[in-house]
Chains A and B, each alone.
Chain A
Amino acid sequence: MSIESTPADASPPRADLVAAVLWMVFGAAITVGAWTMDRLEHRHINPYEIPGLVPGVLGAVILLLGLALAVRAVARGAMGGARTEAAGPAAVGPEGAAEARRRMAQVLAATLVYALVLVGHGVPFWLATLVFVAGFIWHFDGERQRELGRGPGARGWRALVFGAATSATVTLVFEQIFLVRLP
């Protein structure tokens, strides 16, 4: 007996198995954490109000559902030679997949540096935003700009204009209209 999923939703069985194991570990950790949680007996509370009750039940359910996913993945051939990768953009070869991974690593690096490092750590918000937006557009829109026949100078100016416009608009709107103290 298995739970149906349509072919369009299906991800590789090996990827499902990896995800299932992670969910099972997560569910087990929650259950253990809930079981060992203080039951507030010194407060003489009703035993049905202990704080770990609901997380414990939810952890057990996640563990069981993870187990069901693992069983289904194995039944679909996860232990054979199936692929491990998660679903990616459709119809891309190995080179396309590698390029997508590289692009995602760069996107993640840019967004995380902006949100975790530039914002709220001494750099003025307007400057951090200008640098982030201009840098992002200059780098990721570069290929399209080159196809349009634009040189590095034109690309740089264009990115700078978008960055300055975004930075000025967001700073003015949040500080002057919404009266928010920006990070």
Chain B
Amino acid sequence: MFDGLIAFWHSLSTFLTPTTIFYVLASSLVGVIIGALPGLTATMGVALMTTLTIKMPSDVALLILICTYVGAIYGGSRSAILLNIPGTPASAAACLDGYALARQGLAGRAMGIATTGSVLGTLIGMFFLAWFTPVLGDLALKFGAYEFFWLAVFGVIVSATLTGGDALKGWIAGFAGLFIATIGQDGIHAYERFSFGIRDLAGGFSLVPALVGAFGFAEILVAMHEKRPPVKISALDSVIPRLKDVWQYRRTVFRSGVIGTFIGIVPGVGEDVAAWSSYAAAKRSSKEKAQFGKGSVEGLMAAETGDNACVPGAMIPVLTLQVPGSAPAAVLMAAMLIHGVKPGPMIMIESPQFVYDVVAMMLLATLGILLYGLTLTGFLIQVLRVPTTIITPMLFVLCTVGTYALASRLFDVWTMLGFGLLGFVLRLYRFPVAPLVLGIVLGDLMEKSLRRGLVLSDGSLLPFVTRPISLVLVAIIVAVVALRFQAVQRLLRIGPKAGA
């Protein structure tokens, strides 16, 4: 306990320099702005910032990325409350009550509640990050090739199923992502696969350009496709949070924080599910159920606490299993690998201090969003008024030059363009993009684990389903898949009626 506190204090003290504080303030602001702008997501923000921070020392670069991530998830609530448009998918739940409060002339109060919920959510998640990472790290040491294979499949299946949308399309996208990861030299015998003699493709697609394309360029195209009308924002009341709100809904805050954190731990699920789950749990146990959707302070508090608690939660599997808990966490994981930080089961043995570095980074990011939540309302309203047609070319320049800066290769720019077009077409046909990206991230782990497992068992599939952890993972995967079938839903009487 005290060792953890001492390690945390040591990490925090190393970040308390004027330069680092400047980076915290600047990157949190960038995150809040990206999150507030409809159509630009936290994943895009973190991916773009990864390319911009590539030459920086690893601790500074990761601090900037975490501040951007936390800031973007928080920033999404601004446009949800003021415009009824979620700045990021994570803020969709905040639209329901946030915008209803704004229409009652209480936009300032709603933003105060969102700030409080976000700050408390991140703090709760941060506590679990510090407490749970060593525990899960110990468990991760028991993982072998069989377990890692199922964990990768679990991540893709669960991400495709729980992130909303059409599960079948999500599974297709996820398996396509796993396939994309196999392009280029295979990790065991360096045999070139599906590279068609293209020299640049021999090493496969680089992860960051693919992510910048799928979440950056594709989102630019979607934003231009949708052509949003000009923004109209009414006057604001005070944005200072009320302690009375926090105290009155303290149980909701704690419950939402716990739900958000644990949904963050589930590979590939992410902040939007955390927000909706926290919102649903708060509604079920509330004494003011009728108020939900009509301007419920409790509902908004639950949604914002849940999605921000998910951010530290999503870092737990990144650090212990090298499996991302959400799409932005996948980019963060890629950035860690680029900077030479190797998360995974050995982290608590090889570099335990890094876990507390991440906790300290979360705390600094939380302070950043608290500061901006209290002071930057007027500025953010001006930012929301900037039309898409002016922002998008600037973002595209950053997507292009950022991906080029990674390795000074034009091939990375082409990769970004290709994945951007793929992401755009998939969105048009209502295929979710997050499972595709998670598939690309987890593909290498899945393949190596399957082949190693088969070699160890001399071709027998039994160890894949008889070892205890594998068995649990298989059971969850089967249950998650089966529950999407209408016949199973009817049998359990939980799904839509026949014909839905």
Contact = CB atoms under 8 A, between A and B. Distances in A.
Contacts of A69: 168-169, 172
A119 B394 contact: no
Contacts of B416: 115
Contacts of A62: 172, 175-176, 179
Contact of A141 (B167, B390, B430, B459): B390
A4 B167 contact: yes
Contacts of B178: 58
Contact of B447 (A46, A54, A136): A54
Interface string A28-53: 00100110011010010111110111
Contacts of B224: 103-104, 107, 140
Contacts of B284: none
Q: Identify the 3 closest CB pairs spanning chains A and B, nearest first.
A: A48-B454, A136-B393, A5-B166
B191 A137 contact: no
A128 B262 CA distance: 47
A62 to B, nearest CB: 5
Interface residues of B, number: 71
The interface residues of chain B, by DSSP majority, are classed as helix
B410 interface: yes
B400 A115 contact: yes
Interface residues of A, number: 76
A33 B183 CA distance: 12
Interface stretch (B274-282, B349-357, B485-493): B485-493
Given A37-B193, A46-B455, A103-B227, 5 more contacts: A1-B487, A26-B176, A48-B459, A166-B397, A178-B405
Nearest to A57: B450
B417 A55 contact: no
Contacts of A103: 224-225, 227
A74 to B, nearest CB: 14
Contacts, number: 202
Interface string B207-229: 00000000001001100111100
A114 B188 CA distance: 38
Contacts of A180: 55, 401, 404-405, 408
Given A37-B193, A88-B428, A166-B394, A5 B165 contact: yes
Given A55-B193, A115-B417, A48 B455 contact: yes
Given A5-B167, A58-B182, A181-B408, A87 B430 contact: yes
Given A2-B486, A10-B430, A104-B224, A55 B394 contact: no
Contact of A51 (B171, B189, B390, B484): B189
A4 B484 contact: yes
A72 B484 CA distance: 13
Given A59-B179, A66-B172, A69-B172, A120 B410 contact: yes
A133 B400 CA distance: 13
Contacts of A11: 429-430
Contacts of A140: 224, 389, 392
